[in-house]
Amino acid sequence: MAEAYVTSDEHPACGICPSRRFPLGAFDVFERPSRDCPFNPADGHRYTTDGVPVCVHPEKVGIPAGRYKTDGLPVATKLALPDDVAELDSYLRDVMHSAAPGVLELLIEQAATEIPRTFPGVDVITTLRRALS
């Protein structure tokens, strides 16, 4: 069985989130609870009508809403770097520490490309080391 997307107890995902039971891509993420993903009182989880597990807190799992399992969508992440370089370290720390391994790799790649464009002269390696420590 593949490893769950969220493996850390310190991750902000809810205790019953499908991200704690399934790997990335094996569940859908909705913006919020809806009729399209009703709560199942028998096990405390939400599912689509086709039985696909659903997370309803994209901000907590660190990936945008999408029908990853239902439609086979790839996970697309997009860094939104702050306007002020003074906020860069804390922003990256928050984003990186809430990301799972598959997403973390994508975020690091984006950061390596976007930081020099947004903040010329900032040492990317040093900045990423601070964010990941």
3-state secondary structure of 85: helix
pLDDT tens digits along 59-118: 888 788 999 999 998 876 778 899 999 999 999 998 888 776 667 888 899 999 999 999
pLDDT of residue 27: 95
pLDDT of residue 101: 63
Angle at 117 between CA 127 and CA 81, to 5 degrees: 60
- Nearest CA to 59 out of 85, 16, 95 is that of 95
Interacting residues of 52 by C-beta distance below 8 A, sequence separation 6+ = 27, 28, 67, 69, 70
